[in-house]
Structure 1
Amino acid sequence: MSATQAIAEAFTTARAAGRSLDAYPGTPPATLAEAYAIQAAAIARWPDAVKGWKVARVNPAFATQFPEERLIGPAFAPNVHHVEAGGTAACPVFEGGFAAVEAEVVIVVAQDGPAGKADWTADTVAPFVKSMHIGVEVASSPLATLNDVGPGAVISDFGNNWGVVVGAEIANWRELETIDVETFIDGASVGTGKVNIKAGPLGALAFTLNKRAQQGTVLKAGDVISTGMITGVHDIRIGQQSRHVFAGAGEVSVRITKAVGR
């Protein structure tokens, strides 16, 4: 078994069993190509359909080694949670692993991307937005130190994603430049931020369209794109609840549960 396949097997086996890992299972990928090769191998091993993608910024400290502004990871169909306005989603995380919530804008894709076209920008992607929603990414990995290892490690383990919560629609997003957002955990404010619709969500959508084209495939109509954290990455534990308030657009909550074996 190649190193790529061995790392993919270790992460997917741990996720399927709902258990943690004590260390990165091998040598962390040193390049984007290596990282996405492991991710592709892991996706191929996982039985669920990919229903979308999480997007995150690459830490500037790693920009020389991983020279792209963002990274992506798959969101699988059972981990995409649609909730009504003001609703709460129950989302699992890996006990003993990494677990965090991030307030994010989520885009539902309107149409399949054209094959081979990889020059999309935030100014040209609006036709691919079926709807824009308030939402949450639930980041979780069997490896508690995944983020510390670096972007290559994050990419290799499904982008550190284990949930995308799709909340109320932001019907007037075309008229907005920014939205103020605040995150609470168990009632206590843990972070505030402001999302710029063009640079943030639309930029993330453009990046994902381009990345998937470069990978020889396309985004699909109905895919969900979790477009990047707004108030920060907030550690959370099993049994806790987070609430994410998007000024003028509503709020959405998440209750954290324990991931169990499949």
Structure 2
Amino acid sequence: MTKMPASPEQENVARAFLAARAEKTPLTLYPGARPQTMAEAYAIQGAAIALDGRRLGGWKVGRIPADLVERYQDNRLTGPIFSDEIFDGSAGQVPAMPVYAAGFAAAEAEVLLCFGEVGTRDYDLDSVRDCIADVRTGIEIASSPFVEINRHGPAVTASDYGNNKGLILGPSIPDWRNADLIAMPVEMAIDGDTVGVATMETMLDGPFGSALFLIRVLRARGIAIPPGTWVSAGAITGIHEIIPGQRADAVFDGKIRVSCTITG
């Protein structure tokens, strides 16, 4: 992927998404020419990040469907998570997470990796663990004012912050360096009803593969990864649509729970 600056038209798309998010105005149509490549999507996303001005606290990573990998030349996408939308749920707190009620909203059970010092070295799937300082359970809130955010391919999804609206940091996974994360059972419930059960075997090469992907893509985009940066490594049990007033609970390994409620 080659880094490309945003064109004036792409900057206008970024401004339209920022305005819709700020004013909580639903978008029924994409606000401009839809990006056709991931480079175009990241140009829009990068312009929005610059215009937004908030501090970045992390990045979400999502999977690109197998039948679209060849077209988009990658198997994952990413989007920013802003520091003021990261909440602690590690000690039983149940944060209230706002979404765009008239747009798209979902909750996803995810493993969260915290980067330590990344530096400039090359990594592989094993050595990337060396720059991970913590691994936690968590829930990503996916929400966009564009109701069809996930219906037009990964480039459209990536262009609006990767469809992210926040992150809940759950408890750390004990002895994560030696734990078999891939085989860990994960269950997601909404209002007490189970909506998904899976393991991380569904996540390509797992959460550390997501970290490896993120390092590669952010380096290509010229974006630094300071220590303390979180990566939400990808939906484990699925993308579960949710509405204000509902509660989401993710349970990892049958005993580690992280929860949130949803507001409009």
TM-score by length of 2: 0.92
The match for 1:229 is 235
For 1:43 and 1:102, how far apart are their aligned partners in 2? 23
The match for 2:85 is 79
Unpaired runs of 5+ residues, structure 1, are none
Q: Is the 8 A contact 1:139 1:161 kept in 2?
A: yes
Q: Is the 8 A contact 2:244 2:263 kept in 1?
A: yes
The match for 2:196 is 191
Deviation per CA, 1:86-129, whole angstroms, max 9, x where unpaired? 33121110021000000000011112x324x5x53221111211
What displacement does 1:65 show?
2.1
The match for 1:37 is 43
For 2:48 and 2:178, how far apart are their aligned partners in 1? 40
Deviation per CA, 1:52-94, whole angstroms, max 9, x where unpaired? 0000111123222211111110000111111223331211100
Corresponding residue to 1:158 among 161, 170, 179:
161
Q: Is the 8 A contact 1:209 1:218 kept in 2?
A: no
Q: Is the 8 A contact 1:131 1:171 kept in 2?
A: no
Shift of the 126–198 alpha-carbon distance from structure 1 to 2, 3 Å rule, reads farther
Corresponding residue to 2:15 among 9, 12, 22:
9
Q: Please give the secondary structure, in 2, of the residue aligned with 1:122.
A: coil
Question: Aligned AA for 1:61?
Answer: D
Pair 1:251-2:246 in alignment: no
For 1:253 and 1:22, how far apart are their aligned partners in 2? 30
The match for 2:131 is 128
The match for 1:208 is 214
For 1:40 and 1:149, how far apart are their aligned partners in 2? 20
Q: Is the 8 A contact 1:114 1:218 kept in 2?
A: no
What displacement does 1:172 show?
1.4
Q: Identity over aligned residues, as a percent?
A: 38
Q: Is the 8 A contact 1:237 1:256 kept in 2?
A: yes
For 1:48 and 1:249, how far apart are their aligned partners in 2? 35
Q: Is the 8 A contact 1:120 1:210 kept in 2?
A: no
What displacement does 1:36 show?
0.6
For 1:198 and 1:140, how far apart are their aligned partners in 2? 23
Question: Aligned AA for 1:40?
Answer: G
User: Map of 1:97-112 to 2, 5 A cutoff?
Assistant: 97-111=103-117
**Number of residue pairs matched?**
255
For 1:90 and 1:200, how far apart are their aligned partners in 2? 29
For 1:216 and 1:155, how far apart are their aligned partners in 2? 17
Q: Please give the secondary structure, in 1, of the residue aligned with 2:29.
A: coil
For 2:161 and 2:115, how far apart are their aligned partners in 1? 20
The match for 2:225 is 219
* Structure holding more strand per residue: 1
User: Map of 1:30-69 to 2, 5 A cutoff?
Assistant: 30-69=36-75
Q: Is the 8 A contact 1:120 1:206 kept in 2?
A: yes
Question: Aligned AA for 1:121?
Answer: D
Corresponding residue to 1:27 among 23, 33, 39:
33
Aligned-residue RMSD, C-alpha: 1.6
Unpaired runs of 5+ residues, structure 2, are 1-6
What displacement does 1:24 show?
0.6
